Amino acid sequence: MSAHVYHEIYLHLTWHTKESKPLITPELEPEVFQFFHERCLRTKGVYLHSINGTPTHVHLAMNIEPFVTISEMVGELKGACSFELNKAHGKKILEWQRGFGVVSFGKGNLDWILVYIANQKEHHAAGTALERLERVDSDEISAPVA
């Protein structure tokens, strides 16, 4: 990428396990999160800030370079994660649902996004999860209010 491009591309991403089954058990969660962390470190133009989730889905905050294609990056992360963990365990323990949610945000909102992701389990237990940051399907989007 040219050094002559200014960019601040911050993203909040989420995706679910297949059929939203609780596949990310407390035992598996560290492996899943570590895999995403390491894979992002090795992916050119991807800078992971945070990852967390629940047994049914994950949330990531990152910023990316302009040459990164979001859908390709997410597909690669999801596919590689399930492939490698299933291979390591010798059986199918993790599958991801099709699709994902992505919401862009400004650098000034990074801190509250990080807090939101860090408290995923508490948000879901208390019913305080933010719909906008939980969406994974465009069919869930309601019409804009005039």
Length of the chain measured in residues: 146
Residue 117: per-residue pLDDT: 94
Ranges in the chain, pLDDT < 70: 1-3, 138-146
Identify the CATH assignment for 9-139 out of 3.40.630.10, 1.10.287.1260, 2.40.128.20, 3.30.70.1290: 3.30.70.1290
Q: Is 2 helix (H, G, I), strand (E, B) or coil?
A: coil
Q: Is the dihedral of CA 83, 85, 90, 96 positive or negative?
A: negative
Q: Tokens at residue 20, please?
A: 């939203």
Closest CA to 59 of 31, 36, 83: 36
Residue 28: per-residue pLDDT: 97
Write down the pTM of the prediction: 0.88
Residue 145: per-residue pLDDT: 39
Residue 134: per-residue pLDDT: 81
Residue 146: per-residue pLDDT: 35
Residues facing 57 on adjacent strands: 16, 54
Residue 4: per-residue pLDDT: 81
Residue 138: per-residue pLDDT: 53
